[in-house]
Structure formats: C-alpha cells, structure tokens
Amino acid sequence: MAQNVPDLIPIRAQTLQSCAKEAVSEEKGQKLTSDRFDELSMQVAEAVIALVTKKPNACLGLPTGATPLRMYVHLAKLSRNKGVDWSQVRCFALDDYLNADDDETFQSYLEENLYKHLNLDQSNKHNPRFVDNYDGLIADCGGLDLTVLGIGTNGHIAFNEPSTPMQSWTHCTWLEDSTRIHNEKFFDDPNEVPKTGVTMGISTILASKRIILMAFGPEKKTIIEKAFHDREPDSDIPASFLLLHDRVNIFTDFDLEL
C-alpha cells in the first residue's frame, strides 16, 4: 500500500547518553532509584503539557502498558489544574491488539486512563486498528510532534518486535511469546492474550519530531544498555534504531552506563 508520508532522513544522534542525563542527578555519585518513578513521570507529563500549550493542535504518539500509567495520572491533573485545552490535539495510539475484546484493547486503555479526563475531540482519538493508511493520516495532520515510548524486555518499541526492519511503516505483526507473557497480567485468562497486533513502524516513529523513551525498573536496565551501549542500530533490538534520531530523551529510574 502506497504511503503518503514524508521522506525519512535518518540522523545519528551525537549520543543518547547526553539525553539520558536529563533523568540522572547532577550530583556526582548519586544514583536514581525506583522511588523517582513518580517524579520522572511528572517530568514527562510536563513536557507534554508544554508542547500542547505551545502548539494547541499538536500530534502525539501515545503508549500503553504499566510504564506510562503514572504519567497519564499527572497529565490529567495538570491539564485540569492549568486549564489546558485539548480540543485540537490529535492523539495517535502507537499500537493495538488485533482480535481482542473491546475492553482489552489499547484504545480502551487510553480512553480510561487519559482521554476521558481531557476535552479531547472524539475525532482526534486515532488508532491503527481503524485506519487503513495510518501513516498517511499522520502526515496529513502535519506529522508527529512528540512520540512517547516504552520498551519491552526484548527491545521492542510499540509492537515492533525483534527482526522488524527500520524501513517499516504501520503494519500488522505477530507478537513474540515474551511480549505475550509480559502482558498476561492485563488479562483474566492468560490464554486470551492476542497473538497479533498492529503497530506504527520504526520509520513512523523515527519520523516524529521528538521522542521520549520511558524505562523504569531493574528489568529494563539490561535492555536499555544493550540497545544503546556501543552498538550500531539493528533489527535484533528495534529500540536501537532510536540512535538514528537526533531528539531522543530517555527517562529512567536507574543510572545508565552508555
């Protein structure tokens, strides 16, 4: 399917280490611990608020799962307390399950945890399950201004599992067993975890003007360091393709050795 999308010109970041320092204390020797999860979630929420305030019709790429939950709580509270107007903001879910009950989809997650708390227009709640040419829609809206990501323990971003090529746009995919096992906690019956999904591609994500990657907990430290420490981007760890972007910020609650 032909994509109405802008040309992607990969630009290698100087390093991701400088970006990661935004989440690391400037006081020498002080390491971050999980008790900073709330503070860092607030920082990401504030970054989103700053963008929406500056650009009322901003386009956002939004994640789901456990990692961004606290950020969404802060985002809703800040929006209410500051009177932030979301009526023109365009929100694009990063991915979603195929063949899942409606109440178990990522669209339902975003509605429950974020959308219902904002004055977001129904027509601006976009999801790749319901759009044939998601990348064309994003391009028609001016492109993603900010994409917020989590990372899987196997290095996936959105549902771009290992072996996903860089030159991939929105597509359907099979989910790896490790991804499905990790997501079992969100289902009453582990056997109900879908085996397929639809996701923004690597190129879709890299076309975003700015990217924030959130990674919390010791289980994410290993994959973060594998993805970004002294390596070239490759499809074995899809998150490593973020090295090609020049505006990536990593927020972690652990010290990084990059």
Active site residues: 95, 154, 156, 161
Cα(124)–Cα(101) distance, integer angstroms: 22
Residue 180 has a CB neighbour count (10 Å cut-off) of 17
Residue with tokens 């280490």: 17
Residue with tokens 């076309």: 207
End-to-end CA separation in angstroms for the chain: 39
Nearest to 144 by CA among 213, 63, 208: 208
List b or e across 12-26, with b for residues whose CB sees 16 or more CB atoms inside 10 angstroms: ebeebeebbeebbee
Chain-centroid distance of CA 68 in Å reads: 9
Residue 197 structure tokens: 């999904």
User: Who's near 19: CB < 8 A, 6+ residues apart?
Assistant: 13, 248, 249, 250
Q: Using an 8 Å Cβ cutoff, are 245 and 211 in contact?
A: yes
Residue 172 structure tokens: 């359907």
